[in-house]
Amino acid sequence: MSLLVVGLSHRTAPVGVLERAALTGEVPTRLLHDAAATATVAEAALLNTCNRIELYADVDKFHAGVAELSLLLAHHSGVDLEELTSHLYVHYEDRAVHHLFSVACGLDSMVVGEGQILGQLRDALAKAQEEHTAGRGLNELFQQALRVGKRAHSETGIDKAGQSLVTFGLEQVAAGAGEIAGKRALVVGAGSMSSLAAATLVRSGVTDLLIANRTPARAERLVEILGPDVARVLDLAKVPEALADVDLVISCTGAAGVVIKASDVAAAVASRGAPEPLALLDLAMPRDVDHAVHELAGALLVDLESLSHAHAASPGAGDVDQVTRIVSDEVTAFGAAQRAARIAPTVVALRSMASDVVAAELGRLDSRLPDLDERSRAEITQTVRRVVDKLLHAPTVRVKQLAAEPGGASYAEALRELFDLDPAAVHAVSGTPLGGAPQPSTGGTR
């Protein structure tokens, strides 16, 4: 497996570019299928969150893979390729694995250590499996990334650096608009981020909570979970007029345009008469709340852009170094296992060839010595097999060890050359067609 990652995130692109590049609706599914259908890609997965868009692919050609995936990202995001390219990052093989493991641990998140990324990675893998674009390679890789992320959270205090965008956002809200406890709140949206926001508000002491969503049934289910004594469903069309009756709004929908207009916020502020500003926490990408709200007196808007600036100025967590070491160790172990696995078909093919040679020679012995008694025949057979096994044991064990080291792929080729192994036999053992890339185990788009 030759892993390639092409993507952009809050670290490489301003929020304005991320907002324009945001993939919504059926676009992520179409991008995933188009990526898996390209000539250089055997498997593909897409990690699409509010602050990152990343394509993970098993490719047979690096430069062609980068070009094709970059072009697809530009096409589906609607951002011109020349502009997008300046914000893209590319990671390959071990560096790509290191990037994914870092992402899983929250090291690459806007809020370092946030745990929600593990759920997003799990969703990305599930989507690739559902669409039959992920095979054995990406399945194993993502499952290992999830294990590494869980290890980082269980063995270190990285969680203390930041639980989620919601908690970090609410800290910024509290700093500018007072404590969350006792506030009247409105959550717009009922997806995973909005549900987390609603639950966090209740834990923070909010006892009057409105939930508005495009699909009322989802809002009703969230109210049932939170409790009708705390939360109520609000018709999405009534959000503008409800702004005047709340102290805090959290919005995170999948809408392609503005959900909360500056004019509605201005009208709500004028009619509130409260000493604290109307606080709005916008966690959507593209943004739900009109950027012009930043300029309104009596309103406090905290969005992904302001969260990025706030987190850049915050002190780092003491456990980050420990998690970084965990990631490095896990990348080394994963790479060694992958390299060792690549030589296994060659070793199996070698032993199979040796077995065939033994069988052929024993057959010749039978024809030359037809009167040989069974006891002697069995002893000769065992002796020949032991000799062959002992001769092959040391080189096959050693070649596995050497293959697990960086640059070890050449040892498999040397073994095939020295013993004149049939390439078709090696490919048959590995389960790949001669001259082709490994096929997705769950089906494929190609």
Would you say residue 36 has pLDDT above 70? Answer: yes
Task: Using alpha carbons, select from 160, 163, 221 the residue that is nearest to residue 191.
Answer: 221
Walk me through the domains of the chain, giving residue ranges and CATH numbers: 3-161 (3.30.460.30), 179-312 (3.40.50.720), 331-430 (no CATH)
Q: What is the pLDDT of residues 389-414, one digit of tens each?
A: 898 888 888 777 777 676 666 777 77
The more confident residue out of 367 and 320 is 367
What percent of the chain shows pLDDT beyond 90? 57
Would you say residue 445 has pLDDT above 50? Answer: no
The answer to which of 187-201, 256-270, 416-430 has the lowest mean pLDDT is 416-430
Identify the pLDDT of residue 164: 67
Q: Which positions are catalytic? A: 50
Mean pLDDT of the chain: 87
Would you say residue 158 has pLDDT above 50? Answer: yes
Q: What is the pLDDT of residues 275-329, one digit of tens each?
A: 889 999 999 888 999 999 999 999 999 998 888 777 665 544 457 888 999 999 9
Per-residue pLDDT band for 430 (boundaries 50, 70, 90) equals: low
Would you say residue 436 has pLDDT above 50? Answer: no
Identify the pLDDT of residue 407: 65
Q: What is the pLDDT of residues 216-244, one digit of tens each?
A: 999 999 999 999 999 999 999 999 999 99
Identify the pLDDT of residue 254: 81
The answer to which of 175-184, 292-301, 340-349, 380-389 has the lowest mean pLDDT is 340-349
Q: Rounded mean pLDDT of 112-118?
A: 82
